[in-house]
Amino acid sequence: MANTEASLKDAMASIDGAVGVALVDYTSGMALGTMGGGKDFNLEVAAAGNTDVVRAKLRTMEHLGLQDSIEDILITLGTQYHMIRLLKAK
């Protein structure tokens, strides 16, 4: 868990303007670690919702017969960017 916390701190410090970061298991939607967020931005809710985005994209790729992997997904809102970056298993 110490590595997770260190990685989250590093992400918060190295991404200009970051208000929150989360490490999420997209198969379950569970956040393995979060940092930042706040009462107006619930990272647990964002984590669960964004796993639906990842799973939908993976299903679409499968239906299209694409033999590739997702590197990242960028969602642009009016006042925020939501970056979803998938990590490869070691």
* Tally of domains within the chain: 1
Residue-wise pLDDT tens digits, 76-86: 999 999 999 99
Is residue 49 included in any domain, yes or no?
yes
47 vs 66, which has greater pLDDT? 66
Is residue 59 included in any domain, yes or no?
yes
Model pLDDT, residue 39 = 84
Q: Does residue 69 surpass a pLDDT of 80? A: yes
Is residue 76 included in any domain, yes or no?
yes
Distance CA 81, CA 58 (A): 21
Give the pLDDT band of residue 90 (cuts 50, 70, 90). low
pTM of whole model > 0.85? no
46 vs 88, which has greater pLDDT? 46
Instruction: With beta carbons less than 8 A apart as the criterion, state whether 61 and 48 touch.
Output: no
Is residue 10 included in any domain, yes or no?
yes
Expressed as residue numbers, the domain containing 47 is: 2-85
Is residue 90 included in any domain, yes or no?
no
